[in-house]
Structure 1
Amino acid sequence: MQFGLFGSAAARRPNPGESAEFDSSEGFREFIEYNVEAEALGFRSTFVVEHHFTGYGQVSATINLLTWLGARTRTLRLGTAVIVLPWHNPVLLAEQAATLDLLSGGRLDFGIGKGYRYNEFAGFCVDMDEADARFSECLSVIVKAWTSNEPFSHRGHYWQFDKIVVEPPTAQRPHPPIWMGAGGESSVRQVAERGYNLLLGQYASPTDVGRSIAAYKAAVEAQGRRFDPTQVGVTRAFFVCDGAEEKETALQRRLANRVRQLKLATRPDGTMHGGPDRATGDPDAVNRNSAMYGSPDDIAAKLDELRRVGVGYVLVNGGGSGGGGRGRQSLRRFAREVMPLFAEEPAARAAE
């Protein structure tokens, strides 16, 4: 089983009354150091969100932050989870992502999505009902920009470009791996049929994760391609806790954060477009069942559940720790006390 990171950093504005010397960069700098240590501890990758207009400082300029991180690391793969294509000029995004891939020596994992938070679409004055069409057009331009050596033009519904050659080229050819989030079986199959890698949400049950992996694997193999378990990244929250009280506090913090995110995703009529924060069932039960919080043994048991349904690549979010020094302690314990339990090769497990 391979492990990467998934999450965000925070660089909020000072609240009224806070010191004029408030350091908005502290959260970003802490994020960089956390990831530098994660690379040394054996993590394969980091995947970073893109969000806007939250009021609590989530990452908005994902490519910029990853470029800085790329300069501080050597092997850590640099993922986006996800860049929301309907908001972006596809040519500018293709150029920025290619620059990151080139400077990092071919370490970009390009995770993309359609978006799901109403407040973000409203802020950009983009109709959510156009998300699918905007996504498809943007993606087609990006892929063409990365793979065309000759000038090309594009006349689409949302974008027009005339005789352009997009520079620089990407380091990875024909382009960086493309990752897409999906949940339903048909959308999972579509990701596989496009030849892309799959991202699965952090609230999905092991049973649902297993179904998605099985559908993806079948679609990959139906095209005559070999399935690799690391083509599917399963996100999960983790926190190595010191006791029941700390675990309960962290669970309540995570639940409150999810409620806050769901409010941002809700339309004025009370409906939601979808997205990874939505899961069926009692919110408290979903929260407790999906979070890998507790002792190293507790966490290993939940990872073993995932391994049994075919998971080979887990992207962990350490936000439950509250960050800071406590988050670094949890990261180290996870790397030293949990990860070695899942280091054996798949072939060895199959022979058991």
Structure 2
Amino acid sequence: MKFGMFMMPSHPPGENPTLAFERDLQLIEHAEKLGFDEVLIGEHHSGGWETVPAPDLMIAAAAQRTQRIRLGTAVVNLPYHHPFEVAERMAFLDHLTRGRLIFGVGPGALPTDFMLFGLDPNKLRPMMNESLEIITKLLEADEPISYDGEFWKIKDMFIQVKPLQRPLPLAMACGISGNSVEQTGKYGMIPMSASVFSPAGADMLQRQWAAIQESASRHGTVVPRESWRIAQPVYVAETNEQALEDITRGATREYHEYFFTLGLKGLFEDYPGQPIDEITTEQLKRKMGWLVGDPPTVTKMIRELHDGTGGFGGILFITNDWADQGKWMKSMELFARYVMPNFQGTAQGLTASWNALEEKARLWRAAIDAAGGIDKVMVNNLPKFGQDSIGRVAQAPAAADQA
């Protein structure tokens, strides 16, 4: 399983944006050092909380600070940009990252953003579809192409710098609309889904995956299950109580001041009669399925989510500014040390070796006790201990009796 980060990024209004961007870049560097696989960065233009308007520029900066970790857009909102410009910039960016780019796309979801551009929300998805068709042709074509669509028209256009990766990995933010899963299957894209950690949430994800596979089958593409990414808030601390305490202030503020203002109150209809401003962080965690707790708890939650969906290929941390930088970095370190190995097989050999040693040591101790204690065994069998392995020390009692 792969592990990455999805950075909207989100910071409380009123902070110094220069320092906030620097913290984001430091988290990307830290993620690479800890062995995370990828970081994907969002695009937003309004609202005060989500502050990166150009994820490609953020990726270019991060590429200069890293060597291995893959960097991606999550997402470029295609209706906001001319498709030729997007294709050319992404191909160029793939070279700047030395072939580490993941190109994620979407239609745009923040109402104040598409209002800023004067776009009809009912036209966002068809605009994205046309743009995506043009972009994929431009990325692959070795000769000029033309396109006469409802929203975009190009004539004899050609990008002179092709992506370093051929093909360039494409990803789609899969929401509740049928269009996103249809396009994912049509182009064989990496699906990026948001999870609600509940039986209903797992069922929704299963239906989403089935729709992607049905679309892929119709279009003759392949979307392997191991390419599927699930994005979810993740925070790990030494104890469950400490984890919830660490994020309570930041999470409560972000949801009450930002997400509820955007109209997400309907997600909490499970609490009829409770004023929205009285919803607690514990209720948010339970309802939204945050992967928050100590390492064993988070490991268990990921296993349950994996089993409930039928399996996926990666978890993306939704990195929110809910705790100070030091605590976020500590959370990432705890995850890398104690959660990742359970899904990547990196500690299986060590665990098996330790279990084998424990069994041999048990036999050794039993043999020593039967021989009359360590002093007697060492005096009467010292040469034998020098020659035999621990696994053969069970012969020691017989030798001691003969002595």
TM-score w.r.t. structure 2 length?
A: 0.73
Of 38, 42, 45 in structure 2, the residue corresponding to residue 49 of structure 1 is: 42
The structural deviation recorded for 1:311 is 2.4
- Determine the structure 2 residue equivalent to 1:348: none
Structure 1: distance between partners of 2:165 and 2:79: 24
- Determine the structure 1 residue equivalent to 2:339: 338
Higher RCO, Cα 8 Å, sep 6+: 1
Q: Is the 8 A contact 2:49 2:258 kept in 1?
A: no
The structural deviation recorded for 1:321 is 4.4
* RMSD of aligned alpha carbons: 2.9
Of 240, 246, 250 in structure 1, the residue corresponding to residue 236 of structure 2 is: 240
The one-letter code of the counterpart of 1:298 is T
Which deviates further from its counterpart, 231-240 or 316-325?
316-325
- Determine the structure 2 residue equivalent to 1:349: none
Q: Is the 8 A contact 2:103 2:168 kept in 1?
A: no
**Cα 1:249/1:30, change in 2 over 3 Å:** closer
Name structure 1 gaps, 5 residues minimum.
Answer: 16-22, 267-271, 346-352
**Cα 1:2/1:176, change in 2 over 3 Å:** closer
- Determine the structure 2 residue equivalent to 1:213: 209
- Determine the structure 2 residue equivalent to 1:87: 80
The one-letter code of the counterpart of 1:319 is N
Structure 2: distance between partners of 1:154 and 1:248: 54
The one-letter code of the counterpart of 1:68 is A
Structure 2: distance between partners of 1:149 and 1:226: 24
Of 154, 158, 164 in structure 2, the residue corresponding to residue 165 of structure 1 is: 158
Q: Which has the higher helix share?
A: 2
SS at match of 2:131: helix
**Cα 1:239/1:167, change in 2 over 3 Å:** same
1:9-28 matches, cutoff 5 A: 9=9, 23-28=16-21
SS at match of 1:314: strand
Name structure 2 gaps, 5 residues minimum.
Answer: 272-278, 347-403
TM-score w.r.t. structure 1 length?
A: 0.82
Of 165, 172, 197 in structure 1, the residue corresponding to residue 190 of structure 2 is: 197
The structural deviation recorded for 1:158 is 2.6
SS at match of 2:64: helix
Identity %: 26
- Determine the structure 2 residue equivalent to 1:282: 270
Q: Is the 8 A contact 2:238 2:295 kept in 1?
A: no
Structure 2: distance between partners of 1:47 and 1:190: 20
How many residues are paired up?
329
1:222-233 matches, cutoff 5 A: 228-233=224-229
- Determine the structure 2 residue equivalent to 1:128: 121
Structure 2: distance between partners of 1:147 and 1:247: 47
- Determine the structure 2 residue equivalent to 1:322: 323
- Determine the structure 2 residue equivalent to 1:8: 8
The one-letter code of the counterpart of 1:253 is G
SS at match of 1:203: coil
- Determine the structure 1 residue equivalent to 2:93: 100
**Cα 1:321/1:121, change in 2 over 3 Å:** closer
